[in-house]
Structure 1
Amino acid sequence: MKSNPLSEDYELIRKINEGDATAFRQLVYKHKDVSLSLAQSILKDAVIAEDVLQDVFIKVYRKLNTFKFKASFSTWLYRIVVNTSYNELKKRKQNISVDAIDDTFNITSEKKDLMEEQDQRKYINLALQKLRPDEALLLRLFYLCELSIKEIEVITSFKPSKIKVDLHRGRENIGFHLKQLLGKDLKQLL
């Protein structure tokens, strides 16, 4: 019988609120990969995203007693990840230059073994790095996290129309960047 991830999270939260540090480690482990991916979508820097994620989980630990169980824990957590990441972006006043990113990813001869899942992730992540932070974030929330437009609205505070437009643009732009990276080998990737 398949376990319910919501009830697993709620049980872990109950244990954490009772002082069980092991339960918090389990909760972090369960959600860290997706949370890091969301932070990287916004910040475009793995090291900064890891630092932000540490701050996020400290905030989560301190504020977990305020979690009301009205939404899923992941929705609440992703909202904190998104807000903390955007705050860090503002603090650093980063202007992400697509030209600078293009110079970083000059891929020519490494196009042979594209069917491996590791290579698929690599090229998709390279293309995601070239997208605007909002587009990359929304693509990850919608496709990776499999969240609905309504759930994404709660996490990001974006209007549904912005979410739909940015998802559309994001899909077009990621296709464009994948074509630039892979050329005719794109069909092998997909």
Structure 2
Amino acid sequence: MIQIEDTYYIKKVLAGDTKSFAVLVDRYRDLVFTLALRMLKNREEAEEVAQDTFIKVFKSLSKFKGEAKFSTWIYRITYNSCLDALKKYKQEYQKDTIDEFTERQLATLDNAFEILADKEQSQIIEACLQKLPEEESFLLTLYYFDEQSIAEIAKIVAISEANVKVKLFRSRKKLAALLKEKLEPEIIEQYERERR
């Protein structure tokens, strides 16, 4: 089945068919909630921010010019709403100290992601993402789970592509350290044996 593009529903909503907005909400509800949960680390706050995001999207739909993908625009609103909520709640999160990681260890992490997915152990990744600071968890979610490009992430968080690369690299290092603690040692050892 061919999925009708977002712009079709946006035009319908702007023409007065407000019921068409439900299609857009259905399309992006899970992604918006997941991103909010990654940043806020609290289910109730994430639900509140997700609702707030869609209210903002609806009210400002006429401002969407189509210069970026609609999903990028929604992610940007979600990100800003999360930042507002963090300021409002003034939450502080534990920040783990991380040892230096090499490119080889990061390659091990990428392979570990595949192995974990194959073994349906995504709860380990989820637990580790929850330990990361909110912005790092958000960036990794966009990059790995929502498969956003560096350019799209740069638009969402309003920083340069070079800065996104640096932040992703640092976030991956931190996630690697957390995963290393959680992963079964034989997964890492098996990968490193294959690479010798």
Query: What's the TM-score, normalizing by structure 2?
Result: 0.78
Percent of aligned positions with the same letter in both sequences? 39
For residues 181 and 151 of structure 1, what CA distance do their matches in structure 2 show?
A: 31
Seen in structure 2, the aligned counterparts of structure 1 residues 28 and 185 have a Cα distance that, compared at 3 Å, is farther
Task: Answer whether contact 1:178 1:186 (CA < 8 A) is retained.
Answer: no
The answer for the alignment partner of 1:160 in structure 2 is 161
Task: Answer whether contact 1:79 1:156 (CA < 8 A) is retained.
Answer: yes
The one-letter code matched in structure 1 to 2:126 is N
Seen in structure 2, the aligned counterparts of structure 1 residues 186 and 85 have a Cα distance that, compared at 3 Å, is farther
Task: Answer whether contact 1:150 1:160 (CA < 8 A) is retained.
Answer: yes
Flag structure 2 segments of 5+ consecutive residues without an equivalent. 97-114, 192-196
Q: Secondary structure at the match of 1:163?
A: helix
The answer for the alignment partner of 2:24 in structure 1 is 27
Q: Give deviations 1:141-160, integer Å, cap 9, x for gaps.
A: 12222222222111101232
1:85 equivalent in alignment to 2:86: no
For residues 184 and 57 of structure 2, what CA distance do their matches in structure 1 show?
A: 43
Runs of 4+ in 1 over 3 A off after TM superposition: 114-119
The answer for the alignment partner of 1:67 in structure 2 is 64
From 88, 92, 95, give the equivalent of 2:92: 95
* Matched residues, number: 172
Seen in structure 2, the aligned counterparts of structure 1 residues 116 and 75 have a Cα distance that, compared at 3 Å, is closer
Q: Secondary structure at the match of 2:5?
A: helix
Task: Answer whether contact 2:94 2:133 (CA < 8 A) is retained.
Answer: no
Alignment of 1:167-186 (within 5 A): 167-184=168-185, 186=187
Flag structure 1 segments of 5+ consecutive residues without an equivalent. 100-113
Using the TM superposition, give the Cα deviation of residue 19 of structure 1 relative to its aligned residue in structure 2, in angstroms.
Answer: 2.5
How well do the aligned residues superpose, as a CA RMSD in angstroms? 2.5
Q: Secondary structure at the match of 2:20?
A: helix
Alignment of 1:41-56 (within 5 A): 41-56=38-53
Q: Secondary structure at the match of 2:92?
A: coil
Task: Answer whether contact 1:134 1:166 (CA < 8 A) is retained.
Answer: no
For residues 115 and 89 of structure 1, what CA distance do their matches in structure 2 show?
A: 31
Using the TM superposition, give the Cα deviation of residue 71 of structure 1 relative to its aligned residue in structure 2, in angstroms.
Answer: 1.4
For residues 17 and 87 of structure 1, what CA distance do their matches in structure 2 show?
A: 27
The one-letter code matched in structure 1 to 2:37 is Q
